[in-house]
């Protein structure tokens, strides 16, 4: 089981479960490989297959250090990825960014507490505006 408090998240690749972590060194290596900030790529919505594959590869740095004989490359990571699961991989990368503290966890609309007025409801105009 992945130690989320240390930033690790489980991910399934090629029928095997791995742990990815996007710590400072992994993010620096990812930025260098992409030629720009991964977080800005995410912010611009410019995430393609190459970005996802590279992020997973960099996130596997701890695995690569512990298993030097595995000779894991970005191309091998791509071979283990399933095209039908790209959304799953993207979700796992977001989870890893949250676990590492790079981004805040997304809050579902129903989880916000909801004590205040609904900002999406329209005012029906029945109330008079105060006269000043």
- Residue range 13-53, pLDDT digits in tens: 999 999 999 999 999 999 999 999 999 998 998 889 999 99
126 alpha-carbon distance from chain centroid: 45
Instruction: Classify the C-alpha dihedral 37-27-102-92 as positive or negative.
Output: positive
Using a 10 angstrom Cβ sphere, with 0-12 exposed, 13-18 middle and 19 or more buried, the burial of residue 34 is: middle
Check if the beta carbon of residue 68 is closer than 8 Å to that of residue 32: no
Give residue 3's pLDDT.
64
Q: Is 82's pLDDT higher than 90? A: yes
> CA-CA distance, 86 to 25, in Å (whole number)?
24
pTM of the full structure: 0.76
- Residue range 53-76, pLDDT digits in tens: 999 999 999 999 998 777 899 999
Q: Is 95's pLDDT higher than 80? A: yes
């Amino acid at each position: 089981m992945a130690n989320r408090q240390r930033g690790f998240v489980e991910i399934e690749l090629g029928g095997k479960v791995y742990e990815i972590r996007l710590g400072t060194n992994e993010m620096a290596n990812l930025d260098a490989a992409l030629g720009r900030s991964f977080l800005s790529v995410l912010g611009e919505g410019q995430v393609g297959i190459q970005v996802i594959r590279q992020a997973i590869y960099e996130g596997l740095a701890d695995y690569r250090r512990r298993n030097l004989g595995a000779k894991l490359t970005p191309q091998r990571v791509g071979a283990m990825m399933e095209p039908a699961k790209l959304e799953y991989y993207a979700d796992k990368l977001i989870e890893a960014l949250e676990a590492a503290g790079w981004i805040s966890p997304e809050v579902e609309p129903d989880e916000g507490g909801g004590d205040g007025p609904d900002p999406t409801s329209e005012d029906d105009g029945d109330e008079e505006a105060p006269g000043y």
